[in-house]
Amino acid sequence: MQRKDVDKKYKWHVEDVFASDEAWEAAFAALEKKADFAKFKGTLNTAEGLLAFYRADEAFSLEAMRVYLYAFLKHDEDVRVTRYNSYLAKIMSLFTRVGAETAFVTPELTALPDETLDRFIADPRLKDYDYALSRIKAHKRYTLSEKEERLLAQAAEPLSAAGDVFEMLDNAELNLPEIEYEGKRTQLSHGLYSLIMSGKDRAKRAEAFKLYYSAYGKIINTLATTYYGNVKKDIFYSTARGYSSCLERALFEEDVDQAVYERLVRAVGKGTPILHRYMQVRKEALGYDEMHMYDIYPSLVDDAELRLPFEKAFELVLQGLAPLGEEYLSLLKRGKDEGWIDVMESEGKRSGAYSIGIYGVHPFVLLNYQETTHDVFTIAHEMGHSLHSYYSNGNQPQVKADYTIFVAEVASTVNEVLLLKYLLKTSTDSNLKKYLLNYFMDMIRTTLFRQTQFAEFEQKAHAAAEGGEPLNKDNLSAIYLDLNKRYYGDAVTHDEEIATEWARIPHFYRSFYVYKYATGITSAICIANRILREGESAVADYKKFLKGGNSTDPVSLLKIAGADLTTDVPFEDAMREFELALDEFVKL
Ligand SMILES: [Zn+2]
């Protein structure tokens, strides 16, 4: 379909951001003039000076984000249009310029004495910035002299080489072999690999698995060296700044206690027997004597597609999310009726789905709705992000509105869990029920277990290197294989290839990142359960979380909604849900 032929009611209202390209260009020109921050240099040591800077910075970013949003949305409507590519490039380069111009801010603030920062934090005029300033103050003990900081800043680019090399190998020069697919010989790609892995053709899966890993295997020493380089970079930063470990540094940056990480690893480790049982059930359901790692991806249930037109799907989402109360539902409806969502696929449109929420404008959602069951969940998921943005933007000052990655997947997953439970309760179609249970179990396997397995790998690899043990393909693969056996158990045949899976995970070049997926789904399951159990009071607490933006540390925010990651409760909740789903699946 061409975009011009899509019914207007299925298109988002970009005109809510700017009425026209001309209006955008005028706004951009004005913004370029406004971007003048050099004059604030040396003025941040008084409350008045700091306030003046913050006000100018906020006014700039309010407008700049709007300008960015318009370019971003127009670009995604049809990525082939060069005009919007250039709009995007223009605003990005302005951001780069302003970033360089305001680089003095953090060092200047960090250099202030504690007493001055305390005075700022207590100053009612600077109330909106109290959390940000308290983080600046906390960072002081890990901040070095001006000269050393300058050196560290200069080292950032060369130190990112390991990650750059991996990206180049993985995306361009890995040389994945050819495979016969749908009657044609084509070169294997990451996309085709996952398509084959979730497909029904077992021989093809086995073939792709061997071919894929053989490509990594040919350069495994290079990949181990690259990954070790990345770990050494982490060690360099953490020792230079005086952290006790790389993990401590990564969590400090997010204001999360290391105990949360350790609790996650411990609690999920305790839950692995349920995953082992799920693997056993999967093996029996598939009727295999031996189940390999390439057999764990396909859905166990065929054709449970709801095939609902968008309006009906949206109705179903509203029914599923009814426990969140009238206000939440009316906002969802508003989103649908007032042009937040771009529903249909059309030529040139960006694929996939996302939600984007910018301060001062309503959220926007991109879908490529195809009437599958999964697509109905995508509506609930993306609208979860949108309402989180809507509530935070509407209830926090600009600087505290943007929620962080740590909590970003919670609202979306709460919605998925609520919808899932509603469908399981109301559906009489046992095939659909089996499909949904399988969907849920795989969500827990991939988001909770797999990401925790990754988290544990990163922790062990860093700890080994920090202890003076050089990393190489042998010890990295030994750590990974051991974890894989521990997580998946005896029902799975652990082919030698899987020991090298660490070598192909791009997220490992962003150390200690993936655990947030695991704490996110854990929190979401816990919150959804509480909402179903306690009703109104739980919803009221949940809304406080949704309205919380980044007003304080993420663990405290989640605690307001009832997910207390400083206890075992949310983790036990998630494991119980997994087990209940498995029991129900077996019964059906
Ligand atoms: Zn999401």
pLDDT tens per residue across span 405-435: 999 999 999 999 999 999 999 999 999 999 9
Task: Indicate the pLDDT class of residue 511, thresholds 50, 70 and 90.
Answer: very high
Q: Share the mean pLDDT of the chain.
A: 96
What pLDDT does residue 305 have?
86
**Strand ranges (DSSP E) for 73-225?**
178-181, 184-187
Looking at 77, 108, 382, 501, which residue is catalytic?
A: 382
Ligand 1 center–CA 412 separation, angstroms: 6
Ligand 1 center–CA 379 separation, angstroms: 11
Is 382 in the active site? Answer: yes
Q: What are the sequence ranges of the domains in the chain?
A: 3-143, 156-174+219-304+429-588, 305-405
Ligand 1 center–CA 376 separation, angstroms: 14
The third-level CATH classification (topology) of the domain covering 156-174+219-304+429-588 is Neurolysin; domain 3 (1.10.1370)
What pLDDT does residue 435 have?
94
Task: Indicate the pLDDT class of residue 146, thresholds 50, 70 and 90.
Answer: confident
Which among 502, 540, 508, 570 has a CA at the least distance from the CA of 234? 508
The tens digit of pLDDT for each residue in 155-183 reads 998 999 999 999 999 988 898 999 999 99
The tens digit of pLDDT for each residue in 76-100 reads 999 999 999 999 999 999 999 999 8
Q: How far apart are CA 133 and CA 136, in angstroms?
A: 5
Ligand 1 center–CA 52 separation, angstroms: 36
What pLDDT does residue 172 have?
85
Task: Indicate the pLDDT class of residue 153, thresholds 50, 70 and 90.
Answer: confident
The residue-averaged pLDDT of 4-15 equals 96
The residue-averaged pLDDT of 137-163 equals 92
SS3 readout for 330-366: HHHHHHHHCCCEECCCCCCCCCCCEEECCCCCCCEEE
Q: How far apart are CA 149 and CA 499, in angstroms?
A: 39
The residue-averaged pLDDT of 127-138 equals 96
What pLDDT does residue 102 have?
92
The tens digit of pLDDT for each residue in 303-348 reads 788 999 999 999 999 999 999 999 999 999 999 999 999 999 999 9
The tens digit of pLDDT for each residue in 198-227 reads 999 999 999 999 999 999 999 999 999 999
Burial bucket for residue 531 (CB in 10 Å: 0-12, 13-18, 19+): buried
The residue-averaged pLDDT of 67-73 equals 98
Ligand 1 center–CA 77 separation, angstroms: 20
What pLDDT does residue 552 have?
96
Ligand 1 center–CA 357 separation, angstroms: 12
The tens digit of pLDDT for each residue in 356-408 reads 999 999 999 999 999 999 999 999 999 999 999 999 999 999 999 999 999 99
Ligand 1 center–CA 148 separation, angstroms: 39
The residue-averaged pLDDT of 450-475 equals 98
Ligand 1 center–CA 398 separation, angstroms: 22
Task: Indicate the pLDDT class of residue 302, thresholds 50, 70 and 90.
Answer: confident
Ligand 1 center–CA 428 separation, angstroms: 29
Instruction: Check if CATH label 1.10.3720.10 holds for domain 3-143.
Output: no
Q: Concatenated DSSP letters for 285-343?
A: HHT-SSEEGGGSSS-SS--------HHHHHHHHHHHTGGG-HHHHHHHHHHHHTT-EE-
Ligand 1 center–CA 107 separation, angstroms: 34
**To the nearest whole percent, how much of the chain has pLDDT over 90?**
95
What pLDDT does residue 150 have?
87
